[in-house]
Structure formats: structure tokens, C-alpha cells
Amino acid sequence: MNTWHWIISNLPFEWAQFGFMRTALLAVLIVSPLFALMGTLVVNNRMAFFSDAIGHASLTGVGLGVLLGLADPLWALLGFSLVLGLGIISLQRFTRSSMDTVISLCMSVSIALGVVLLSRGGNFNKFSHYLIGDILSITPEDVAQLLVTTVIVGGGLLIGYNRILLIGLNESLARSRGMKTWWAQMLFCAGVVMVVTMNLTWVGILIVNSMLIVPAAGARNIARNARQYVGVALGIAVFSGVAGLIGSYYANTATGATIVLVMMACYVVTLGVKAARIEFGSRA
Amino acid sequence: MENDHHKGLARHPCGECCTKLVNVGVAFGGQRILEDVSLHLHCGELTTLVGPNGAGKSTLLRTLLGEVPHTGEIHFLPVFGHGREDAPAIGYVPQFLEFDRFSPISVQDAFSSVLSRWPVVLWHRRRDRATAREALEAVEAGHLCDRKLGELSGGELQRVLLALSLTPVPNLLLLDEPVSGIDLPGRELFYRTVSDLRRRFDLSILMVSHDLAGVAAVSDRVIFLDHRIVASGTPAEVIAHPEVRRTFGLDVPPPPPQTAS
């Protein structure tokens, strides 16, 4: 950690002189590859709405944490989001109603409950930093926590990647190969919940889902196989993370939102590449 | 195709080992889809399932896959030498592979993900590449290895899925209307390939089809299903059955028996 701060502080930039920026940079470099890898599977398995709901619904988790008087609501958040996420998947399974209805229902209820809990006594403004995120909230202990999460979830993702890819392609096909699709899905959802929840406080509830979806969506425009897919998503996520963080310093804006805007710019570039490819392809 | 993983399975033609269904019934919301279905599937035999729309043909396949709750009994006899009795290796080619055509998944990615747990996002192991190529070449699709799944034509996709369902070689192969949406030359190639595979791997194959005339030449047995088994026997016998003739609108005499293989 000290070495990291020493190296970065020797860079000839104004932002590199601030400890919180150096810590945030490290966090971004740790987290964005994980977002990219997970995002490719979330998009493939049509779970973008699910992860969005988990992000938004965490308002209730924050509210519960405050209600219980916890100084750091992270654990209440994580617990609530896990119950909610696995609940959504199970509910969909057993009621056999359409996924988007179940998700929308759970999300609306959680947001409402969260707002009610947090607005008691008219103090909602106190919590608005959860909505837009705050990089000042990243402490060196948080970075360590993020590193551990990334190693565990990232390792699990790599081990399970093939299976989740096959389930996303076609569940019957995966099941015919003897895969325990139910367990794989539950574990994957738990992973999504962990990653989304751990990064809520600095990215912001409103846009945390974009960190998962936008790099993968951009990579889909140009990738032809799974490896290129993850490679391009990784590139977009890391580049946008670093550029957005530094940009937000100079523009004096919220970091999470700035990163997402850089990601969107990358997405537009991939659209251009795709269009150019079709153009040249038709001539060849 | 005599490569290692096929040799390793040590297959002998037996004519005895089979998948056995006893009085299988399926009902959805009070409506009976299948009633009293009893049949044996022997290995090395191609059984074709024909019948009107909504007769429960696809449901029967999905029941065998374990996706549909049912009454009655299904036994997979463990004569195959590997796999447990309740979990045989089943190859399955769905009627339409419902998938996102924009997913950046190549044919090789799909093969590698069923062959190993080595993450396809890193690189493909040489062994998985060789196995995929060999399986694809057996269905005349070796050139499709690095294509994106979503870019394949209907016939190409169907052959890729057939190759995929045979990797590694299953005990039982289920094909759900594999030729719907494929042009005539494509169909002939597909039937020829399936018929060839049955002999080479001594597989038991259950194929759903609407194309009675096309499958008659390659099937060992035809079953006419309309919620229950109405007729069962050699292709010539089933084609001669009055109910079958009514359903398929056959007014020409049945083909001579020697066309049935």
C-alpha cells in the first residue's frame, strides 16, 4: 500500500498528490476487471434487469442498517440484497411468472420501503450520497475488502464461466449435459449481489448497474468469441475507470457517473467499429 | 473419428441395453399430455416419433431429459458402462435453439464449455480444439469451428448442435424435429449423418419428425403418438396404419418394405 502511494505520488499530476485519489485509483483498478468479467455473463444470461434491481433495492438495506443503528450499513446491505436476489430467482422459479414482472415488483417494494425508512424524521438528504456515490468513502480497509472480494468472486467466475455460458446459451442444453443449472444460477446471482453491494457506496445506487452492463454491451458489438468479448469489456472498463476517476477530479463531478459517461463514449466507438466492419465486409 | 475418447468408452453392439419407459403419463394443469406411454429404446436403433401437432412428442423428449414431472417409470439401464442409472449422458438437439444471436459465442466456445472447465475466456486447450474439429468434421461442419453461433444458417446450426450433442458420445440421443427449417439437400445430409452415427457409435436415438416420408428410409422403428401410442412398428407397418394415413393424408399405397433399412 505504501509502495503504491509512493509510486503514484511521484507522477507529475496534480491529482496524484492526494491520498484519497491514489486509494480510489487502486480501488478502480481492482474492481473494474471484475465488473467487466461479470458483466459479460450478466448480459449473456439476460440478467441486466436483475442486477439493476439489486442495486436500486439496496436502499432498503441501507435503511435497515440505519434502523439497526449500525455505523457501517454494509453488512445489513449485503444480507438484505442476498435474501432479495435469491428470493427473486426462487419466486420466478416457483410461480413461473415472467421474470421482469417479479423483478419489477420486488424492486418497487424495496425502493419504497427504503425511502420510507430513510425519510423518517425528514432527513433523507443525509443519505443522498448513497444515491450518487462518494469516492471519499473509500478507505484503505475498503480497498483490502474489495481485493478479497475480487479474488474470491473473480476466481469463482473463472471456474464457473463455461457452465454459466452454456446455461445462458440454452438451459435445456446445459441440463442435458448433466449440469446442476439451479445451483450454478444461485451461486452466480449471489456473486452479482456481492459485487454490486460492495461497490454501491462509491459508485452510487443509481448507476452501479451501468458498471456491469455498459462494457459488456460495448464488447458485444465487436467481439466474435468469448475471449474477445471479455478482452474488449476489460479494456473498456479499466480505461473508463481510470479516465473517469481522473476526469471527475478535474471536472469536480461525481466519480461513478463520470466513469459511466466515459463508458458510454466507448460504447459509441464500438458501434462505429461495428458499422465500419459491416461497410467493409459488404465490399469484400 | 476413432480417436481416444471414443475408444475409451468400449462400446459393443448389444441390442439389449435400452431406455425403458413404463406407463409414463404427463399432465399440465389437469390436461393430460401423455398417457400410458410404454416403450423400449435399444441401442443402435433409430426410433422416430411421429404424430399430429400437440400430440406430446416434444413433451416426451423433455420428460426423458428430466424437465417435466411425470407418473410411471423411466429406467436407464446401466449397461452403458458409465454414468449412473438415473443420470445417463443424454445428447439433445432442441427443435429451435432459442438463444441470443448477438451473443459473442463461437462454435469452439460452445464445444470447449461442454468439454472442460478450463475457462473459454483464457484460451482453448489444444485437446478441446482437436475434439471439436473431429466432431464437426463427422457432420461435415469442420469449417464452422471459429464462426459465431449467431451467424450460422439453420442447417449449419443444426449440424453443429448435432456434433455438440455427440461430444462426448452420449448413451441416448434425442432429436426434436431436427430438420424443420432446413432445405431438402440439407435434410438428406442430416438424415444420412444421423443414420451413420447410429451404426458407428451404437447409439440409441429418438427423433421427433413431421417428415414421415423422409425418415421412413432411415428409421428402424416408427412410433405414432397422439397422447398415447397409437401405432408402433417398422416404418412400413406404421405407414400402413389407417390412423397414420388419415393424419398424414396418405392416399398412395405404402412404399415396398425393402426401402426401410
A226/B contact by beta carbon, under 8 A: yes
**pLDDT tens digits along A125-151:** 777 888 888 877 788 888 888 899 899
Q: Which residues of B touch A37 (CB under 8 A)?
A: 121
What average pLDDT does range A157-179 have in this prediction?
84
3-state SS assignment for residue A223? coil
**CA dist B118 → A265, B36, B253 (Å):** 33, 44, 56
Whether the bond between B170 and the residue before it is cis, its omega within 30 degrees of 0, is no
User: Which of A215-218's residues contact partners 24+ apart within 8 Å by CB, and which partners?
Assistant: A215/A35, A215/A36, A215/A39, A215/A240, A215/A263, A215/A266, A216/A36, A216/A39, A216/A40, A216/A42, A216/A43, A216/A44, A217/A43, A217/A267, A218/A263, A218/A266, A218/A267, A218/A269, A218/A270
Question: Mean pLDDT across the stretch A148-169?
Answer: 89
Query: How is residue B131 written as a grid cell?
Result: 475434439
Residue scoring higher pLDDT (B57 or A29): A29
Q: What is the pTM of this model?
A: 0.78
A 193-212: CB under 8 A from B? none
Residue A96 pLDDT:
66
A176 and B102: CB-CB below 8 Å?
A: no
Integer angstrom CA distances of residue B31 from A94, A95, B21, B224, B227:
20, 19, 21, 20, 11
* A172 with B94: Cβ contact below 8 A: yes
Q: Do the chains contact at A172 and B90, CB–CB below 8 Å?
A: no
Q: Is A178 on the interface with B (CB under 8 A)?
A: yes
Whole-number pLDDT of residue B13: 45
Cβ of residue A96 closer than 8 Å to a chain B Cβ = no
A159, A176, A226: residue with CB nearest B104: A226
pLDDT at B154 over 70: yes
Contact B104 A219 (CB under 8 A): yes
Q: How many C-alpha atoms does A114 have within 13 Å on its Cβ side? A: 26
pLDDT > 70? residue B87:
no
- Nearest-CA distance from B31 to chain A in Å? 18
Please give the pLDDT value at position B88.
67
Which residues in chain A are closer than 8 Å to B64, comparing Cβ atoms? none
> Is residue A236 scored above 90 in pLDDT?
yes
Chain A nearest-CA residue for B65: A176
* Fold of the domain spanning A2-283: ABC transporter involved in vitamin B12 uptake, BtuC (1.10.3470)
pLDDT bracket for residue A37 (50, 70, 90): very high
pLDDT per position as a tens digit, A16-26 = 778 888 888 89
Percent of chain B with pLDDT over 70: 83
Of all helices (H) and strands (E), which one includes residue A243?
A: helix A226-251
User: Helix, strand, or coil here: A218?
Assistant: helix
Interface of chain B toward chain A, CB-CB under 8 angstroms: 62, 65-67, 87, 89-92, 94, 97-100, 102-106, 108-110, 112-114, 116-123, 146, 148-149, 164-165, 174
Provide the residue ranges of all domains of chain A, joining segments of one domain with +: 2-283
Q: How far is A174 from chain B (nearest CA, A)?
A: 8
Q: Is the pLDDT of residue B93 over 70?
A: yes
SS3 for B87-131, per residue?
A: ECCEEEECCCCCCCCCCCCEHHHHHHHHHCCCCCCCCCCHHHHHH
Give how far B164 is from chain A: nearest CA, Å.
Answer: 10
Contact A271, A254 (CB under 8 A): no
Cell digits of residue A267: 460504447
Nearest to A173 among B62, B66, B92 (CB): B92
Which domains, and CATH codes, for chain B?
17-89+170-261 (3.40.50.300), 95-167 (no CATH)
Q: Quick check: A227 and B121 CB within 8 A?
A: yes
Measured between alpha carbons, how far is A87 from A103 in angstroms, rounded to an integer?
A: 10
User: Which chain A residue shows the shortest CA-CA distance from B97?
Assistant: A170
Does residue B4 have a pLDDT over 80? no
A208-222 vs A255-283: helix crossing angle, rounded to 10: 10
